[in-house]
Chain A
Amino acid sequence: MTVYTLKIDGRDVAGSEGQSIMDVAEENGIDIPGLCHLPGIHDRGACRLCVVKIGGSPRLAAACVTRIAEGMDVVAHDEELEEYRRAATEMMFLERNHVCAVCVANNHCELQELSADLGMTHFELPRISPTVDVDLSHKLFGLDHNRCILCLRCVRVCDEIEGAHVWDVMHRGLETRIQADMGVDWGDSATCTSCGKCVQVCPTGALFEKGRPVAAGTRDERPFLPWLRVHQEERGL
């Protein structure tokens, strides 16, 4: 196994061949934000929050999908990147109807935490305010498209970990929605095993356990995410 040395934000760090910049940063306690990234499932580089600058190149690269190389000089935090990240986070808020005060995930929402970390105090652009559905057909869980940021963690965890591939994506652009099976109500899905992994990995309140009041979301202390880590190591991901 080849070991590469590189710099992230001026710090000398090392990682092995095939690792992403994000992996190495995490191992070294350097925090790079990311909402579609989740250790244990494949990365897709879609939320664009983890973009970094590499070696003075004008092109930004997503840290979660960019493999490290010898002598890389990565800038993960500077004024410009923070501004871009703030803008992207704002876009996620504006896209659907995120109203924290009445959200099941209030106070344990990754999007909310991120906006606080980035110092987002207000919206500069108008809300898009689309009319979207809430699917409460499943006996245990609910899906509120109003809160979905299309990170597709649910899609990947269901496919790669549970192996059921209940979730997939339909339509495109702003109309993009996650769908169960081929567009049926979640409760009617023939493939769902009701394992709840998707609910566990949802960074916002889009997927939630029924019967929980506002701000009492379900991402609690269950040993599920650490298990993902173990799984990741076993599979050599």
Chain B
Amino acid sequence: MSEQPAAARPVRHRAAVATPAGETRASAYVCEAASCMSAQAHDITVNLAAQCAAAGLTDVMVKRVGCLGLCAAGPLVEIPQTGELFAQVKPGDLGGLITALKSVKPGATPKPQGPFFEKQLRVATENMGRVDPESLEDYIGRGGYEALQRVLADMTSTEVREVVSQSGLRGRGGAGYPTALKWTTVAKAEGKQKYVICNADEGDPGAFMDRSVLESDPFRILEGMAIAAFAVHATEGYIYCRAEYPLAVARLRTAIRLAQRAGFLGANIADTSFTFDVQVRLGAGAFVCGEETALIASVEGKRGTPRPRPPYPAVEGLYGCPTLINNVETFANVPAILRKGADWYASIGLGKSRGTKVFALAGRIVNTGLVEVPMGMTLREIIYDIGGGIIDGRPFKAVQTGGPSGGCIPADYLDSPVSYETLIDLGSFMGSGGMIVMDDTSCMVDVARYFQDFCRDESCGKCVPCRVGTTQLWMLLDKICRGQASLADLDQLERLAKVVQKMSLCGLGQGAPNPIFSTLRYFRDEYLAHIVDKRCPAGVCEIVRLPDARPLDAQPTEVPA
């Protein structure tokens, strides 16, 4: 071993910074996902390893792991033997951690960690915060690549699709299209070359599920993609990840390299005739590139604009070949389904929405972070039990789900279960899983204006209704927010929103008016307060009073000297 001090030693590609030679009595899992990393989590890992060595703790393992979930309280360090979670750890003050590590008894059982963790059910994120994201051994140690090996050894592609079909898995990117149906379409489509694409262009404001999965468990995505490729007879794959996620991209690239070296990617995977390789493509910051046809254009090196469907990518996709596109979370579910069985997965959930869903809790909520819950859990349980309620105990006003194509759900519906169908009934949308919680300090007209501004800015400019319509909608909302609109403008807003929804080419434009529809449905009184009473009930909008029209025969007002 080198004589370098721990801090100067490179730590990438090392399963643990401090690995005990003998049995591990205690370990410290340091969260090194993006949000904790931004709070110097890596310094914690390095310092902690050095201090353990200095304290003579040779039976303590210090390990970098992915997201521990409770992002609001980061940087986080967990001692898995006792279940203790240290929040807001400072790299310069690790004394408490060292004491705790010293006192761990061999064979300790973890104590309960509170409702944030206990009400969750982790499937797609089961390895999150458990494995070192840059260690293939760690991943295999937690059952990784078991599913792929079993698939390659014992199953036909039809059987794989059958298992996925029985599990009831639906696309986690938002629309909830049955995954097995898509796989079957691609498998049956004619074409010599087929592709698998992982859509990691997560762009909804307030959503960070895909980022956390990629940063915490990248091998899982590669395994899920390989299984999918086997099931649809594809040999090449792309992961389209937004460039705003540098850590996720770096870990993916490391994972691809390690998997290739270990024979889990490339030619003759696991000593079978199955060949599949993956490349990473970076998105250049366009929200619309999360739309599948725009994504394909972007992978091809063209301008990232959508094209009308049909033909769907499953028939004519990348380079005109049949292409399977699934979201990160969909692929993350696949290895677990094949390892534990379709019945197990199908036993979780509600109605036609089976399994679990990862949500990114954001906004005015105590426990900002990443949670995975069974479908069918109520919004109240997610927001109050897991999320810890509203900051400062203020009243809950609405939760925004589904990103810019979603809607705002008011307090009256807090006891609705969360599933694809119920959210659509409520005028919202599952989307990729962002949940932005709002209290009485949010003005719903302002929220609608915010999302419209986002869509206006992100419109690719290809079709007229979206390019011009979203701007016109934004102008109308802005007029309402400034207190200068009339009731005729409100009618105009509704009429125009309908046109944009019906006429737009892709999901971005078709979904852009949804925040307007849902806020009008539940919070019409707020619109009216802005228009009729010229006031903003939440005190957010700046009402600009126009001078009252003066009668023509009135005398000019005298200006005091």
B-side contacts of A84, CB under 8 Å: 499, 502-503
A46-B463, A174-B467 in contact; A65/B308 too (CB < 8 A)? yes
A95's contact among B310, B468, B475, by CB below 8 Å, is which?
A: B468
> Chain B interface mostly helix, strand, loop or mixed?
helix
Residue B286 at the chain A interface, CB threshold 8 Å = yes
Contact: B472 with A94, CB < 8 Å?
yes
B-side contacts of A45, CB under 8 Å: 307-308, 463, 505
Contact: A173 with B307, CB < 8 Å?
no
C-alpha gap A65/B457 in the complex (Å): 27
Residue A122 at the chain B interface, CB threshold 8 Å = no
What's the minimum C-beta distance from A79 to chain B, rounded to whole angstroms?
13
Contact: B472 with A176, CB < 8 Å?
no
- Closest B residue to A128 by CB, please name it: B471
C-alpha gap A171/B468 in the complex (Å): 15
C-alpha gap A88/B496 in the complex (Å): 10
A-side contacts of B404, CB under 8 Å: none
Contact: A95 with B496, CB < 8 Å?
no
Contact: A125 with B308, CB < 8 Å?
no
B-side contacts of A172, CB under 8 Å: 286, 458-461
Q: How many A-B residue pairs have CB under 8 A?
A: 98
- Closest B residue to A175 by CB, please name it: B461
C-alpha gap A224/B44 in the complex (Å): 71
C-alpha gap A234/B460 in the complex (Å): 34
Residue A220 at the chain B interface, CB threshold 8 Å = no
Contact: A87 with B496, CB < 8 Å?
yes
Q: How many residues of A contact B (CB 8 A)?
A: 34
C-alpha gap A45/B457 in the complex (Å): 21
Residue B456 at the chain A interface, CB threshold 8 Å = yes
Contact: A87 with B461, CB < 8 Å?
no
Contact: A91 with B308, CB < 8 Å?
no
C-alpha gap A82/B282 in the complex (Å): 41
C-alpha gap A173/B288 in the complex (Å): 11
A46-B463, A173-B459 in contact; A88/B472 too (CB < 8 A)? no
Contact: A173 with B467, CB < 8 Å?
yes
A46's contact among B464, B469, B502, by CB below 8 Å, is which?
A: B464
What's the minimum C-beta distance from A80 to chain B, rounded to whole angstroms?
8
Contact: A62 with B471, CB < 8 Å?
no
What's the minimum C-beta distance from A36 to chain B, rounded to whole angstroms?
9
Within 8 A of A (CB), among B471-507: 471-472, 475, 492, 495-496, 499, 502-505
Contact: B492 with A174, CB < 8 Å?
no
What's the minimum C-beta distance from B38 to chain A, rounded to whole angstroms?
29
Residue B14 at the chain A interface, CB threshold 8 Å = no
B-side contacts of A125, CB under 8 Å: 472, 492, 496
What's the minimum C-beta distance from B103 to chain A, rounded to whole angstroms?
58
C-alpha gap A94/B467 in the complex (Å): 11
Contact: B286 with A91, CB < 8 Å?
no
A91's contact among B307, B456, B464, by CB below 8 Å, is which?
A: B464
- Closest A residue to B457 by CB, please name it: A173
Contact: A150 with B492, CB < 8 Å?
no
A173's contact among B458, B495, B502, by CB below 8 Å, is which?
A: B458
Contact: B464 with A47, CB < 8 Å?
yes
Within 8 A of B (CB), among A60-93: 60-62, 65-67, 83-84, 87-88, 91-92
A174's contact among B463, B468, B499, by CB below 8 Å, is which?
A: B468
Residue B524 at the chain A interface, CB threshold 8 Å = no
Contact: A88 with B465, CB < 8 Å?
yes
Residue B303 at the chain A interface, CB threshold 8 Å = yes
Residue A48 at the chain B interface, CB threshold 8 Å = yes
Contact: B467 with A48, CB < 8 Å?
no
Residue B462 at the chain A interface, CB threshold 8 Å = yes
Contact: A171 with B308, CB < 8 Å?
no
A-side contacts of B504, CB under 8 Å: 48
C-alpha gap A95/B472 in the complex (Å): 9
- Closest B residue to A176 by CB, please name it: B461
What's the minimum C-beta distance from B476 to chain A, rounded to whole angstroms?
8
C-alpha gap A60/B456 in the complex (Å): 22
Contact: A150 with B496, CB < 8 Å?
no
C-alpha gap A114/B465 in the complex (Å): 16
- Closest A residue to B503 by CB, please name it: A48
A-side contacts of B307, CB under 8 Å: 44-45, 65
Contact: B460 with A173, CB < 8 Å?
yes
Contact: A173 with B461, CB < 8 Å?
yes
- Closest B residue to A58 by CB, please name it: B502
What's the minimum C-beta distance from B390 to chain A, rounded to whole angstroms?
35
- Closest B residue to A85 by CB, please name it: B503
- Closest B residue to A125 by CB, please name it: B472
Residue A126 at the chain B interface, CB threshold 8 Å = yes
Contact: B461 with A91, CB < 8 Å?
no
A-side contacts of B496, CB under 8 Å: 87, 125
Contact: B456 with A173, CB < 8 Å?
yes
What's the minimum C-beta distance from B41 to chain A, rounded to whole angstroms?
36
B-side contacts of A88, CB under 8 Å: 464-465, 499, 503
A-side contacts of B463, CB under 8 Å: 45-48
A-side contacts of B470, CB under 8 Å: 173
- Closest B residue to A124 by CB, please name it: B492
Contact: B502 with A94, CB < 8 Å?
no
What's the minimum C-beta distance from B544 to chain A, rounded to whole angstroms?
17
A-side contacts of B503, CB under 8 Å: 48, 51, 60, 84, 87-88
Residue A169 at the chain B interface, CB threshold 8 Å = yes
- Closest B residue to A86 by CB, please name it: B499
C-alpha gap A129/B460 in the complex (Å): 20
C-alpha gap A172/B288 in the complex (Å): 11
B-side contacts of A149, CB under 8 Å: 464
C-alpha gap A14/B390 in the complex (Å): 62
A61-B308, A84-B503 in contact; A92/B465 too (CB < 8 A)? no
Within 8 A of B (CB), among A172-191: 172-176
C-alpha gap A171/B461 in the complex (Å): 8
C-alpha gap A61/B459 in the complex (Å): 20
C-alpha gap A51/B503 in the complex (Å): 7
C-alpha gap A120/B337 in the complex (Å): 57
A51-B503, A87-B499 in contact; A169/B303 too (CB < 8 A)? yes
Within 8 A of B (CB), among A124-157: 124-126, 128, 149-150
A61-B308, A172-B460, A173-B459 in contact; A91/B468 too (CB < 8 A)? yes
B-side contacts of A83, CB under 8 Å: 499
Contact: A46 with B458, CB < 8 Å?
no
A-B contact pairs, 5 of them (CB 8 A): A46-B462, A87-B465, A92-B468, A172-B460, A174-B459
Additional A-B contact list (17), CB under 8 Å, known A48-B465, A172-B459, A173-B459:
A45-B463, A45-B505, A46-B462, A51-B502, A60-B503, A83-B499, A84-B499, A87-B495, A88-B465, A88-B499, A95-B467, A126-B475, A128-B468, A128-B475, A150-B461, A172-B458, A176-B460
B interface with A by C-beta (< 8 Å): 286, 303, 307-308, 310, 456-465, 467-472, 475, 492, 495-496, 499, 502-505
A interface with B by C-beta (< 8 Å): 44-48, 51, 60-62, 65-67, 83-84, 87-88, 91-92, 94-95, 124-126, 128, 149-150, 168-169, 171-176
